[in-house]
Every structure is written in C-alpha cells, then in structure tokens.
Amino acid sequence: MFTYCVDHDTLGQLAWLSCYLTTGVHMSFYLAFLKVLALLAVTAPVALGFGFLGAMAARSHFPPLAWFGKGYIAIVRGVPDIAFFLFFVIALDQAFEWTRHKILCPDWPAEVRQGNDFLVCPQAKLPLGTSPEWVHETYGFFLAVVTFAIVFGAFAANVLYGGMRAVPHAQLETAEAYGMTQRQTFWRVLVPQMWVYALPGLSNLWMVLIKATPLLFLLGIDDIVYWARSLGGTKTAQFTDYPHGDWRMWYFLFLLVFYLAFTRVSEVALERLMRRLTHGQATTGGEAMRRAAA
C-alpha cells in the first residue's frame, strides 16, 4: 500500500510491520470482520422469524401443527450444533441442485446418485462453474445464513414459546371478555407482552450466536478464524515476501479482544432495551426499577 514497501527487505521494524499489515491478504482478513457482522445482522432477524413461527406452531390447537413446532424445537435443541451446521449445508445445497436438475434437465439419462457421488447436469450446478468468485462466496454465505437461522431459530422458538406462556392468562381472558377475537388477543395483548418475558432468553441467545460465528470456518467460508490461523502460521503461502515466526497467538488474541468488546457493547445495548421494555411492567425487572426509584 505504501510507496516505501517496494523493497521490504531494507525496511525498519515499524515500516516493515506497516507494510505487512496493509497487504492485500490482510485486507481480506479485515473484510472477514465485515462478513461476521453481516452474518449477525442478517441471521438474527431471520432466526427470530423462524423462532416466532415455531413458537406459534408449538402453541397451535391444531395437533399436527403443534407436533411439528414442538418437534422442530426438540430435534434441533437435542443435536450438537456442529452436526446440524454440516448437515444442513450439504442437504440444502443438494436439495437446490436436485430441484434445478429436475427442471432444467428432465431428460438427463443418468442417475443423480451414483454410489457416493451426487451428480447433476452442468446447468443445475450451484453456482455455475463459469460464475465469478463473488457469486460462489455469496452462495456460500446464503447457505450459512439459512443454516444459522434454522438452528438458532429453534432456540428462539423455545424462548418465545416460554415467553408466550409467561403472559398472565387472566389478561387474555379479560381481552376476550371485552369482545376481542382470538387473533386480536394474540397480536394486541399476548405478543406485545411476550417480548418482556422473552428478552432475557433472547439476549443470551444473541451472545451464543456471536460466539458461534467461528463455525463459518467449518462451512468453507474464509472467516476471521481462517485468516487468523493462515496469517499467523509460519511461512504461509500468503506471505512468502514477509516471512515471520508463529504469530497465531497474537492473531487469536486480537480475535479474543474483538469478541469481548463486541459482547460488551451488546450487553450494554440489551440492558438499555430491557430497562425500556420492563418500565412499568409487573415483572421482576419492573419491580426492581420501581424499588430503585422509591
């Protein structure tokens, strides 16, 4: 990046370090932080949507729908996250390609599954072999978002289901006594108050989601963990011009500081949101605020 970086062998220690930290590969490392933030920004609302639908299904009076909602919560919560991440990425990718194969290549003579191989016609591949690199990266990111949303949506569904059950039933009966329909009671009474009871659990789930972002590395995405391990290693292929010792400890220490700072900012923001929602509410948080103000 700097003009004096042409002959890096003659640079002093600080100048060498400035050149080293501004190479193109390091820019990819810095860009990976934006990938993590983008994943959180997209996954959180999508997972919350999955969770809300799952909670609605679990409390449904229609037995098959209730079984589906409770089964979704129980199955995902009972299986290790890594197993689900690896399963859904492969399953979703093959499901998309199989669907495209059936639409685009209906006359394909060969079987899709041939032993351990999954072979579709070239037109059905996702992404296409001729697609630019950014398309491959976007598709991988899309699969990661869907996988994270499905997994954490189940945890969110359990939290929201508990929040719905925590709303005093007398308030629902009162709403019905005033002539509200079940739909009006649900959207005007149950849902607004549900968030007060669900927010502590959702806050914990947000923290878990932050800590789960390094699993992007297992999904084949070049995230911050991948770059920290690659850039910090000794004599990596990315740095033949800037050889160094084993610096992985310093790179991972930087990641540790990043995650600690990010979780601290999240704690402060969630605490303020909790105070705002519990103000005047007949909950433990609301009672604590009233006692503190007295």
Residue where the block lists tokens 């041939």: 114
pLDDT given for residue 238 in this prediction? 55
pLDDT confidence tier of residue 234, bands split at 50, 70 and 90: low
In the chain, the domains with their CATH numbers are: 3-293 (1.10.3720.10)
Distance (Å, rounded) from C-alpha 106 to C-alpha 110?
11
Distance (Å, rounded) from C-alpha 282 to C-alpha 189?
14
Q: What's the predicted TM-score (pTM) here?
A: 0.79
Least confident window among 120-124, 230-234, 250-254, 280-284: 280-284
Q: Of residues 76 and 44, which shows the higher confidence score?
A: 44
Return the closest-CA partner of residue 202 out of 39, 47, 38, 42.
47
pLDDT given for residue 42 in this prediction? 92
> How remote is the C-alpha of 245 from its chain's centroid?
34
Q: Of residues 128 and 163, which shows the higher confidence score?
A: 163
pLDDT in tens, 159-195: 999 888 888 888 888 888 888 888 888 888 888 888 8
Bridge partners (DSSP) listed for residue 117? 114
Supply the DSSP symbol for 120. Answer: -
Q: Which helix (H) or strand (E) holds 65?
A: helix 63-78
Q: Which helix (H) or strand (E) holds 114?
A: strand 113-114
pLDDT in tens, 3-55: 667 666 666 778 777 777 777 788 888 888 988 899 899 999 999 999 999 99
pLDDT given for residue 288 in this prediction? 52
